[in-house]
Amino acid sequence: MPILGFAHVNVSTQDLEKSRKFYAEILGLVDGYRPPFGRVGAWMYLGDQPIVHISTSRSPTPDAKKTDAFDHVALWTKDINQYRQTLNQHGIKFVEFAVPENDQYQLFFKDPDGTEIELIFSGEEARLASNSEGAKVDASFGRNL
């Protein structure tokens, strides 16, 4: 019984409209159909797949039965300069790193509720960013967002 693919990540929010706007304006996802569950929320689509589910189930106090082991969600994308511009225009702090011995480059930032997002770039734009003056390498040594 093999895994057939990635389905979605679910993020909890205290402000549904703010999160909808963030995932649409920053990541370019489309707010789409969501079944009529008993709790308000949103599904954000990449093409025909709802890859981010936004839940309004966040409680003011952490659930002791849940772990904080989840670190971040990562998405493949392109056009690093457009993302830099968009994040700067929205006043969103981000950090970026070259991946050691690999033609990949990463941008890290947080959504309105603190979920960390990693954008991964590859190919020529990743090579150019990795070789630029002042490029940092290896995000495992602290992202400090």
C-alpha to C-alpha distance for 50 and 59, rounded to whole angstroms: 24
**Which pLDDT tens digit goes with each residue over 97-132?**
888 778 888 899 999 988 899 999 988 888 888 888
Say what the pTM is. Answer: 0.81
One domain, residues 53 and 101:
no
- Name the average pLDDT for the chain: 85
Q: What residue numbers bound the domain in which 132 lies?
A: 71-137
For residue 106, count CB atoms less than 10 angstroms from its CB and return exposed for 0-12, middle for 13-18, buried for 19 or more: buried
- DSSP codes, 25-68: HTT--EEE-----SS-EEEEEETTEEEEEEE----SS--TTS-S
- CATH number at 3 reads 3.10.180.10
